A and B are shown apart, each in its own frame.
Chain A
């Protein structure tokens, strides 16, 4: 609970921040809300030698609509997302993260860069097929799709010296949405989370559907079997229930104190059904 020694800087510009990270080498880490990084440091599971605090980079904060996308600055806090009902599933999910104190500090960029499969926003990025912009000190900039961002447990495409500078989430106007999160206590990490997005065709059938899981593998994953079972067919309770039975296909949930792998697979089926029902109704 007492972190090891580290140095700290709080640069005033993005370029300075990128330079500080580059100069700091492998063990320099950006600090956003600190609510994933600092606990790891206190447990001495992370021992960075330099923290580059991003808090002064006001330009990396904010929410804008651009064409069909939401452009969200990486330093935008969960609490800011939660208050924007027009963000749809993003707002709904942000409101379910931890407790208000954590939401007042934690940021979307930190959550996505961290790559914890138990975090909620990564599954939303996966389901919406969003993407992030990543920059480095050399002036390099690339766009990485959700499918390529999350690589393994706590491992993302964000390399040392790099920063997420923008998050883009398709607005998916006209889609129904729901995020189902199963926890013991309101403030807990998801045992299993399901993000469901549904687009109804004019005839009421399922034109398109996306389902992604929190905490069912070492990264957020898409429930492709569920999507296939539903896409193009009817969107009624029976069809949803039948599709949800495929929820555990391709998953590899980590067992923990509160849930065995089998129980998580069961939860995934139940929650997928509930999320789809809500999304189809909304």
Chain B
């Protein structure tokens, strides 16, 4: 844990654990979320959703709903005059994707439980829900397929108008796989299931739309206001400058709000049609059902190795259950894992083959880590399985395969270049906290008392900082967009600073971290630096927040904009002090000529020079603000070593996490407190998947986990206090040396816990078990092994 510091007016702020500037308003209930906004005359939406997983809509009778006094309109697919369907933004060159059309309201047929069939709009939040119950929809059920392996056989088609359930096949590999396996002394193969999970943001989705004088404003609880503006403009056929999207306070996203949802489009469409503001706030039941899910992959992993543990070939074949519709990035997500299928190892040959298939479930898409937790789980669980097979210490197997610290930048077999790393270093630091030998002795002692304790490790690297446009764009990876970020830094006449970022934070603490970066560069207090985000009408264009990109891409853009401001400051001050701009430096909060501290200017004084330009260089424009756009040269690759210790009660199968230690490296810390926050939350997410959380559908496509009673998000009561530490290996990619850390904890945690559970269960004869390690699943496995 990091001790908390409060800011000081001078000195360096970068690197210090400042408390989050945003917290006072958040924890005292003074923040503004979409649901806090109620323009006069607001109408409410409620949806009529399909109770069937697959059916033809034979009739819709809205007359009873329309007869209600406070209902203004009921719309079905027939009423919508949208210019385009909902977007899917990935088109990898040379790959055919079999993609169903997806509209905000179902057209004649529903394909998952919760598929919206009609929208009821009325005066009151409550009565529209009553009215929605009055809309009578008749369905003729069609055959349902929910199992991805069964879906592959195309016996039941998810969309009968498409030729197949298979969406796409996509591969990435490098090195000679066949030779690698031929050279191996042992080859192991495991089927590793990475089950479906939900984002579980505490604020469900919410949207409010209003049109005034031909200008549309949409407030949405979204991670991607800029993308939403673009797609509103496309789908509503509106010129982009007439659309403004605001993401006010957003109560968590975890990827689930990196999406263009039909409800957002409908609110805007209806607001224009009815000439009144239209609002919708998702209920938790809806959030479980129709906010996108994540993971849901079945992998067959083959590893070839020498007897000493040196891996010669690694092959992952992934069947990804994509659900019924392809949303913004649905089919792309599994591919992100392929980029790090080498883990932190010198695998000479690596191959990832992905098949995406549709089922009658809601869409999967990016959830915290998006493809990399799945890949890391495969690699790290497989390495433990290999170690057992070879009778080697799992850490020794890892060490034997680590890319050495002096080999960076390192090009992996698939041709990706890892920017920097020191995997042995994070593992060494982890082992300063975890005494494995002492643990093994304790483990044995406890086993005699009937407690099965296990330890599991995960050494990971991941790919984030989305992204270099050249690598991810249309002609490369196939994203239909770029990966740059923007910033505007404005110093006001008073010396106060406003920073506009194109990223769209939603709980991470960027307002604090970004302010620290700017304050140090300009010589002011972070409390005097306001960071504005999430409003497409303020600041330059941006590309929003996801993929652990905000600091490594957005933060770097801010640093660059601030540096441009510094260049102006130097020239203003140099002019006044009759020195060369290169000789102006910041010392103790004043801009001075190097070596002559008696004369100098504070930031407000410099602002005075800039905005009351009586005496500035002839060729200079007045003012003190700058814009920067930044497109990184490479991704960044944070890494770390995690250890989990669990107890298994063999009588009941219950698994308890007793200790969790994480050493992460995301480059130099801008604010260690923010890193801790991200790491802690990330670990909970990964532990949650390993032990508690699972989205479950039954065979008929009904959602079984429709509330937080059944979808078991862990709470503080289930978790030990995490122990976190860091190493700092700078990235050469950006000037701050930073890497993303929003997803790292999640990427590492599920494998660490899985390996710990298997370490605990091995003496009971259980050699492999898939997540989630629920008591019944573990108990069943123990019973089976005993037979």
Contacts and interface: CB of A to CB of B under 8 A. Distances in A.
A258 B774 contact: yes
A99 B714 CA distance: 13
A239 interface: no
Interface residues of A, number: 24
A266 B126 contact: no
A63 interface: no
A186 B696 contact: no
B285 A1 contact: yes
B126 A185 contact: no
A257 B777 CA distance: 11
Contacts of A258: 774-776
A179 interface: no
A185 B129 contact: no
Interface residues of B, number: 30
A2 B125 contact: yes
Contacts of B285: 1, 43
Contact of B776 (A2, A5, A43, A260): A260
A142 interface: no
A267 interface: yes
B240 interface: no
A182 B776 CA distance: 12
Most chain A CB within a 10 A radius of its CB, from B125, B285, B286? B285
Contact of B714 (A1, A185, A257): A185
B353 to A, nearest CB: 33
Given A258-B776, A270-B652, A5 B696 contact: no
Contacts of B709: 188-189
Nearest to B286: A1
A201 B712 CA distance: 44
B284 to A, nearest CB: 6
A263 interface: yes
A184 B712 contact: yes
User: Main SS of chain A's interface residues?
Assistant: loop
A258 B704 CA distance: 11
Given A1-B284, A257-B710, A263-B779, A184 B652 contact: no
A83 to B, nearest CB: 19
A16 interface: no
Contact of A5 (B130, B775, B780): B130
Most chain B CB within a 10 A radius of its CB, from A1, A4, A188? A1
Nearest to B127: A5
A263 B717 CA distance: 24
Contact of B692 (A1, A184, A257, A259): A184
Interface in B670-711: 692, 696, 704-705, 709-710
Contact of B717 (A1, A44, A186): A186
B411 interface: no
B130 A4 contact: yes
A189 B129 CA distance: 29
A260 B780 CA distance: 11
Contacts of A266: 779
B279 to A, nearest CB: 14
Given A1-B283, A1-B285, A188 B712 contact: yes
B704 A184 contact: no
Contact of B718 (A4, A5, A186): A186
Interface string A154-187: 0000000000000000000000000000101111
B715 A184 contact: no
Contacts of B444: none
A185 B718 contact: yes
Contacts of A2: 46, 125-126, 129, 283
B710 A187 contact: no
A59 to B, nearest CB: 34
Interface string B119-134: 0000001110110010
A99 B713 CA distance: 14
A260 B286 CA distance: 27
Most chain B CB within a 10 A radius of its CB, from A43, A185, A188? A185
Contact of B652 (A1, A5, A182, A186): A182
Contacts of A185: 692, 712, 714-715, 717-718
A100 to B, nearest CB: 10
B43 to A, nearest CB: 16
Interface in B330-351: none
A184 B775 contact: yes
A257 B717 contact: no
Most chain B CB within a 10 A radius of its CB, from A182, A184, A267? A184
B651 interface: yes
Nearest to A264: B776
A182 B775 CA distance: 10
Contacts of A44: 133
Interface in B125-157: 125-127, 129-130, 133
Interface string A249-263: 000000001111001
B705 A257 contact: yes
Contacts of B286: 1
A87 B89 CA distance: 62
B717 A99 contact: yes
A260 B714 CA distance: 22
A259 B285 CA distance: 23
A2 B131 CA distance: 12
Contacts of A188: 709, 712
Contacts of A99: 715, 717
A85 to B, nearest CB: 21
Contact of A187 (B125, B717, B774, B775): B717
Contacts of A187: 715, 717
| Ranked 8 nearest A-B pairs via Cβ | A1-B283, A186-B717, A2-B129, A263-B776, A270-B651, A1-B285, A185-B718, A259-B776
12 contacts: A1-B285, A2-B125, A2-B126, A184-B654, A184-B774, A185-B692, A185-B717, A185-B718, A186-B715, A257-B710, A259-B775, A260-B776
Given A182-B775, A185-B692, A258-B775, 11 more contacts: A2-B126, A2-B129, A4-B130, A182-B654, A184-B775, A186-B715, A187-B715, A187-B717, A258-B774, A258-B776, A263-B779
